[in-house]
Each structure stands twice: as structure tokens, then as C-alpha cells.
Amino acid sequence: MSSSTVDDRWDDGLIARRAAERAGQPLLPHEAERDADDPEDNLPALGGTYGGPLRTRLDALHELVGLSRTRLETDTLAEAGRVLDEAAARQRLSSRHTVVAIAGATGSGKSTLFNALAGVPVSETGLRRPTTSAPIALSWSEGSAGLLDRLAVPGRLRRRPLAGGAGDEELQGLVLIDLPDHDSAVTAHRDQVDRVLGLVDAVIWVVDPEKYADAALHERYLRPLAGHAEVTFVVLNQIDRLGTEAADLVLDDLRRLLDEDGMALGEHGEPGATVLALSALTGEGVGDLRELLGRFVQERTAPARRLSADVDAAAARLRPVYVADGQTGLGERSREDFAARLAVAVGASAAGEAAERVWRRNAIRACGTPWLRLYRWYERVREHGSAVPPPETPAEEELTARQRVEQAVRVVADEASRGLPVPWAQAVREAAVRGAEGLPEALDELTASVGDPAARPPRPAWWPAAVLAQVLMTFLQIFGALWLVGQIVGAVEPGLLPPVLIMVAGIVGGPLVEWACAAAVKGPARRYGQEAERKLREAAGACGRARVLDPISAELMRYREVREQYVTVSGTRAGARIAAGSRLGATRRGARLR
């Protein structure tokens, strides 16, 4: 993915803020290289030595850092950036050479072993401590100058073995580094050890029968570098000071300690650290170490193995910020609950009930008796003429509606961010907060645009017939009354029963027509109210979805994209575990929805 694409996709909210915060700050080393080079190819081509799965993992790590640098703090990505830088730097140098460092504590005999492998005294040995004050390099073949420059080994401390020389075929390509003591009293010596150990392809740890269980060695180096077991040799030196049985006991105890450190042991053909006992002083076991080193160097896989272990370590450090705790996402139930809360905030249910009441009231007005309509008209005129103003809607109702909207946003943000790593949970919450800005006002405008369904309810086709029936009933009442009056004044022949029956029919028929209309209007009025509530509910849900749910879903999609890259970086086995956990969470969510 190009940097321009990344910028287009990651330029909102937390991204923009952190980008602004980082303006003027120094970039990570791999970011500086990316800015200087072609943005479409920030990492140098890793062909040759780094191929296959390792190349795929490096590309994924590069993509992961690029997508995350505005989401995560610089310190969090520092180790991943260092791994990318070291991968690029090591690839530009010789792939025919394998750089192996010899490290150990004061008096462990590492310099003696260094000389024994060289066949001649190269590194100074003696009783003065510390003896080795700077890294000394021993190269069995030409072409290692770039590697030694990277290790900052000065030219005066670069050596060539005399015994065997260039004809020593089994060690052709080996670059051996004698390091200062890792427990030196001189801080600069320890700093050099830490620096070089982060750059070499493999390490030979030299321990002696007295300090093989030293806590400083195991806690500071062996335990943190347990994942680098395949490029690690652990040598028990000075076995000439022990008997055969004692040497075996110490060696077994050393293996036990390494196992407790989490370092896999390469026994019975399995990949892991190589553990052996020797005496650099007498030469016992040195030949076995030379043979193992020879095979190790000729395989030419140490740089890739070391880098793969570095990627594993970087992935382990990044796991808390990429791997979710349980299932994540926003289910349908959460979406529906959010829409329901917004519907309550805009008063969709109340609007539907009001529309239903108005429909029924209009029906009764239209189909009621003229006398009842006249009375209601008189009541309305009297109310409008009153000097008492109608009560205003209290301000608390508006505040309650706003609070309901804010609560709905807060709840859905918490549900969407539940289980996510902290940076991504924060991004989801910020997306929800940004969407909630102006949401109450937008809902008010939406309600106004939809219109008041109670303002002008439609009239059904049968209303004119009902009105005509009421007119007929009124006419019968008037006709009967006039007939009776005519009989009283003598203008009409006497006959009480017919006019009375006609009047009674009109008087009874009017309320019956009104009652029939009220019964007939219940169903349509209810449906009209439900339709009005549905429209307002859907409009509020659509507004909330566009402003809040869609940004949240976009953040979750971005997190899933980053997590997929992390799965690739983590490797086959770790990635399978993460993917299986994600599938299990999705299955459980689906089961709950069903």
C-alpha cells in the first residue's frame, strides 16, 4: 500500500491529532528511510537470503508499521522499526558470511576459546580483568568489511586466522567476534556487548562451572533471547577442572536452567540451541564445536533465522496492541438497540400515538352529530379567547432528549470497543464522539423535515358517506320537530306517532352513525400511527447510522485489516491461533444472534 493511500484512509480523528503532535518530531529510522526513498517501496528488496515466508512476514511487518504509526505511540513501534532497519541493512551486506559473536562473563574463558578456534593467539588472555575491552573480529574469508563496519569494529582489531588460513574450507564465510565481558564493571563494555548482540547472526555463550547459573546471565540475556535458540550455542567451558561425572551433572543442570528460561534445546535433531561441553585450554571438545560451526556457516541460513527470531520477538511485544481480548465487533442487537434509543430520544412512539389520536379525533369530528360539533366549536372558540397562555414545554425535556442521545452513543461505543486493544478501542470511541457532535441538532432537523404526522392526517373515502348520513339524521330530527310544531299550531293534521318516530330515528341514528365511525376508524388510525412511528424511527436510525455507526464500523474494519497483517507477521502457528480465536468469537456471536 502506498503512503498516499494510507494518508487518504487514515486522516481523521486520532490519526490527524497524532500526526499533528508528531510534526517536527524525529521519525523512526525506517520512516526516515521511507520518506527519503520511493514511497511505493519503503523496504529494500529482500530477495536472495530473505525469501519465502520470511519475506512475506517482513512485508507484512512493514505494512503493519505503516498502518499503525498514527494509531500507536512511537515507542511501541520502535522495536518493529529496528527489525525492519536491520533486515534492510543486513540484506545489503554479504550473504556469504555468517557473523558469530562469542559472549561470556569475566573469567569464563571466551577469549581462550576464541584463540582455540583461530588456531593462534589473537585475543589477549590473562588474569587482568576485564581482559577484552573492545570487540575483536576474526574473518576466515574476504568480503566481510561491510559487516564489520556495521558492527563498528575498527580496522586495527580485525584479524585473519593463520592456522588453515583461507584453505580452512569448513569455516569459510565465518566472521567470529570476541566480545567484552557482559558483566564487566565498565559500563561502556556492557553497552558494546548489548549493541553487538543485536546485530550478529548467532551467539556462542561461554559459561564456566562457577557462573553457569549466574542470574544476570539468565535474566538479562538468555531468557529474553529464548526465541533465538536456533542461532544460539551454549558452551560449558573449563570441563578440565571437573571429573567426567561432575561435568555431566553440571551440563544436565545447565540444560535444566535453559529449559526454565524457555530456550528450546536442539536435541535429537530438533531445532533449538546447541549445548556442549569443552575445554578451550586443553582443546577437548573444540573440534566438535568447529565441526558444528562449519555446518552452521555452510548452511548460510543464520541471518534469516536470526531475523525471523527478531520478527517473532517484535510480534510478541506488539501482541497486546493488536490482539483483541475475546470477540470484537458490533452485532445486530447493538445496532438495533442504538436505533431504538435514538427513536426514544426523538419521541417516535409519542409521535405515533399523537397521530393515532388526531386521526380518531378528526373522524369523530367529521362524522359526529352537528350539535356535538357545534358544542366543540364553541369550546375551541372559548379556549382561543382566553388570556391565559398555553404552558410552554419545559427546558428539562430538551435536555433529557440530548442526554438520551449522548447515552445512546456512549453505550454503542462501549459495546463496539469492548475487548479491543487500548489504542483501537480509543479510536472507536473517538469516532463515536466525533459522530455524536451535532447529532441532537441533526435529529431535530430530521424531525422537522419529516413533518408532524398529526398535523394533516388523510381522510378516508367513506367519510363523505358518513357525513351524508349524519346530515340525513339531522334532517329527520328537524323534519320531525317541524311536523310536531305544525300540529301544535294547527297547520297540520294531528298525529303524534309519525313525527315522534321520525325524530327518534334522527336522534338515535346520529349517535349510532358516530359510534359506527369511531369503531371503523380504530384500525386505520392505529395503522396510521404505527406508520408515522416507523418513518420517524427509520429516519432517526438512518441519521445515527450515518453519523455514528458507519464511522465505528470503519474503525473496526481498519482494526481487522491491521490484525490480518499482524497474523501474517506472527507466523503460521501464532497466526493460526489468533485466527482460530477470531473465528470462535464470530461463531459465538452468530449463535447468540440466532
pLDDT tens for each residue of 540-590: 888 888 888 999 998 898 888 889 999 999 885 544 444 444 443 444 433
Q: Is the pLDDT of residue 403 over 80?
A: yes
Q: Give the pLDDT mean for 147-160.
A: 90
Instruction: Compute the residue count for the chain.
Output: 594
505-521: per-residue pLDDT in tens?
777 777 777 777 767 67
Identify whether 370 is preceded by a cis peptide bond (ω within 30 of 0): no
Q: What are all long-range contacts of 363-368, with beta carbons under 8 Å and residues at least 24 apart?
A: 363/463, 363/517, 363/518, 363/521, 363/525, 364/514, 364/517, 364/518, 364/521, 366/459, 366/463, 366/466, 366/467, 366/517, 367/463, 367/466, 367/467, 367/470, 367/513, 367/514, 367/517, 367/518, 368/470, 368/514
**CA angle centred on 314, ends 134 and 147, rounded to 5°:** 35
Of 14-18, 327-331, 405-409, 448-452, minimum mean pLDDT range: 14-18
Residue 10 forms part of a structural domain: yes
Q: Is the pLDDT of residue 390 over 60?
A: no
The residue among 90, 122, 153 that closes a domain is 90
Task: Say whether both 83 and 119 belong to one domain.
Answer: no
Task: Say whether both 69 and 160 belong to one domain.
Answer: no
Q: Is the pLDDT of residue 492 over 80?
A: no
Q: Give the pLDDT mean for 215-240.
A: 93
Residue 236 forms part of a structural domain: yes
Is the whole-model pTM more than 0.85? no
Residue 468 forms part of a structural domain: no
Task: Say whether both 49 and 149 belong to one domain.
Answer: no
429-439: per-residue pLDDT in tens?
998 988 888 88
pLDDT value of residue 100: 96
Task: Say whether both 11 and 31 belong to one domain.
Answer: yes
Task: Say whether both 340 and 213 belong to one domain.
Answer: no
Q: What percent of the chain is modeled with pLDDT above 90?
A: 27
pLDDT band at 15 (very low <50, low <70, confident <90, very high): very low
Task: Say whether both 349 and 418 belong to one domain.
Answer: yes
* Distance from C-alpha of 157 to C-alpha of 195, rounded to nearest angstrom: 17
* Distance from C-alpha of 458 to C-alpha of 362, rounded to nearest angstrom: 10
Q: Which domain holds residue 537?
A: 332-379+397-460+522-593
From the CB of residue 539, how many other CB atoms can be counted at a distance below 10 Å? 19
* Distance from C-alpha of 75 to C-alpha of 63, rounded to nearest angstrom: 17
* Distance from C-alpha of 112 to C-alpha of 121, rounded to nearest angstrom: 8
What mean pLDDT, rounded, does the chain reach? 78
Distances (CA, A) of 492 to 477, 485, 489, 532: 17, 9, 8, 57
The residue among 90, 119, 147 that closes a domain is 90
Q: Is the pLDDT of residue 143 over 50?
A: yes
pLDDT value of residue 404: 86
pLDDT band at 473 (very low <50, low <70, confident <90, very high): confident
Task: Say whether both 85 and 100 belong to one domain.
Answer: no
Task: Say whether both 75 and 117 belong to one domain.
Answer: no
Better-predicted residue by pLDDT, 453 or 137: 137
Task: Say whether both 247 and 357 belong to one domain.
Answer: no
Total tally of structural domains belonging to the chain: 3
Among candidate residues 67, 63, 65, the one with its CA nearest the CA of residue 6: 67
Q: Is the pLDDT of residue 117 over 80?
A: yes
Residue 360 forms part of a structural domain: yes
Task: Say whether both 86 and 212 belong to one domain.
Answer: no
pLDDT value of residue 576: 46
Residue 467 forms part of a structural domain: no
Q: What is the DSSP letter of 547?
A: I
Looking at residue 226, which CATH number applies to its domain?
3.40.50.300
Residue 415 forms part of a structural domain: yes
Where is 399: in which H helix or E strand?
Answer: helix 395-417
pLDDT value of residue 306: 93
The residue among 55, 90, 125 that closes a domain is 90
> Would you call 102 helix, strand, or coil by DSSP?
strand
Q: What percent of the chain is modeled with pLDDT above 70?
A: 75
